[in-house]
Structure 1
């Protein structure tokens, strides 16, 4: 593993954002969750806007219906591993495309990402430098919201090869820093995991 400089100061303009949207959508009737409507437009759109305002560039990890995603971003990539292995596979594949040494990963079903998400992840790293930084929402860890150094790519590969596909497990097998978001609103890291979650949202006109 490449040693992370303990005194390195990270700036948001050298961080790439990655939205993980590579699942089959099994919890939402095998639809692409990122493309389900949120206030009249796919939920992916506000997430892209929120993350794009905080980082150098944003990529979207997707494995199906790629032509539909092209309407929102040209920065798309798919898992190298076949079989919809989950977020770890998307994180692993990202390093074949992004050019920065640091990336932040977020899921595709939360339009309430804090406006200072990336800056707070950077501050947590500077207080306790580790190659992985994950969110603690004040109640529990939220390992799908993660900042990672490029040096972790091989660790991701090894975990997937072993069939260890839990992001939470992988994080805890490595050195990581917790970024405290206990003072954020209750919906800051509330994902929409079922079709019922979208029922109250407006349908596209």
Structure 2
């Protein structure tokens, strides 16, 4: 699994609801959010990329290659996925956002299990009720399809998914693990939850 997979952390958003602060670098429970994500889901030795459009030196200090979107005007998370597929050298890429600091530690393993069981092109994490469309496993060979989709002006991830064999990896009863931070209030709630190891 480690040898055939690259982990890509998306940290390229504008964070408009966080007063424009770079979410991945916001400190929660003593560490930047991006470090929580890395420590929870990344197996030792797995190739890792960070996709960031700002503060690239700060992200690079974590010890991983950093790349920015190649498309102008912040076209959304698919632009970051495109860069991840371009830069990865492995058959599979697992994508996670930088603002989900409580992801399940077995996330990558279970995404792979679902991919193998269903021979899917795309595997999306699901908490039993909702899909989490930017927490997923992709085949790197999907890059030309994604490039064509974005070049056509499309941006909706769910529309692109439907062009491929899609599977859902279900984490029933673990909705809290997929909570993301979009506002200062949510940041405070997550700080307390992480400090106390409590559910949100």
- TM-score normalised by length of structure 2: 0.89
- The structure 2 residue matched to 1:73, chosen from 41, 46, 63, is 63
Larger CA deviation: 46-55 vs 96-105: 46-55
Is 1:199 matched with 2:188? Answer: yes
In the alignment, is the contact (CA less than 8 A) between 2:51 and 2:84 conserved in 1? yes
Is 1:172 matched with 2:153? Answer: no
CA-CA distance at 1:172 after TM superposition: 2.5
Gaps in structure 1 of 5+ consecutive residues: 1-10
Write the deviation string for residues 25-44 of structure 1: whole angstroms up to 9, x where unpaired: 21211110101111122111
* Partner Cα separation in structure 1 for residue 63 and residue 80 of structure 2: 17
- The structure 2 residue matched to 1:188, chosen from 171, 177, 181, is 177
CA-CA distance at 1:194 after TM superposition: 1.3
How many residues matched? 191
Q: How does 1:8-157 map to 2 (within 5 A)?
A: 11-53=1-43, 56-157=46-147
Provide closer, same or farther for how the CA distance between residues 34 and 166 of structure 1 changes in structure 2, counting only shifts above 3 A: same
Q: Secondary structure at the match of 2:40?
A: helix
* Partner Cα separation in structure 1 for residue 128 and residue 162 of structure 2: 18
Write the deviation string for residues 186-205 of structure 1: whole angstroms up to 9, x where unpaired: 31111111121112437xxx
In the alignment, is the contact (CA less than 8 A) between 2:133 and 2:158 conserved in 1? yes
CA-CA distance at 1:70 after TM superposition: 2.1
CA-CA distance at 1:74 after TM superposition: 3.1
Please list every run of at least 4 consecutive aligned residues from structure 1 whose deviation after the TM superposition is greater than 4 angstroms: none
* Partner Cα separation in structure 2 for residue 157 and residue 179 of structure 1: 25
* Partner Cα separation in structure 2 for residue 167 and residue 55 of structure 1: 29
* Partner Cα separation in structure 1 for residue 167 and residue 44 of structure 2: 20
- TM-score normalised by length of structure 1: 0.87
CA root-mean-square deviation: 1.6
Provide closer, same or farther for how the CA distance between residues 161 and 149 of structure 1 changes in structure 2, counting only shifts above 3 A: same
Higher helix share: 2
* Partner Cα separation in structure 2 for residue 172 and residue 193 of structure 1: 27
Q: Secondary structure at the match of 1:146?
A: strand
